[in-house]
Structure 1
Amino acid sequence: MRNLRIAVCQCLCLAASRARAVEVMEVQEIRFDATGSYSNPYVDVDLWIT
């Protein structure tokens, strides 16, 4: 019975060590203003974020 307790404890410790905190993502609004005029800005403008 003691060996079973030790094995369960080891499994719980292993599981706890592999768990990592999950961060909550927040929605952020970003506004981009174009300097040119485009007939269809949804397909005529390329936006790269690095």
Structure 2
Amino acid sequence: MIKEEPKMSKALVVYFSVSGITARLAERLASAIGADLHEIQPAQKIHS
């Protein structure tokens, strides 16, 4: 009988935020679900 290893799933929260509101929400979500967090940064600065 072959014993299978449990499959681990890992979540990633990826976000883009100009004003910071989405960043705060993404940080809270990632913390709540135990996910990694990654911010998408534009190639050029965006003025809000």
The structure in which a higher percent of residues are helix is: 1
Larger radius of gyration: 1
Higher relative contact order (CA 8 A, sep 6+): 2
The structure in which a higher percent of residues are strand is: 2
TM-score by length of 2: 0.32
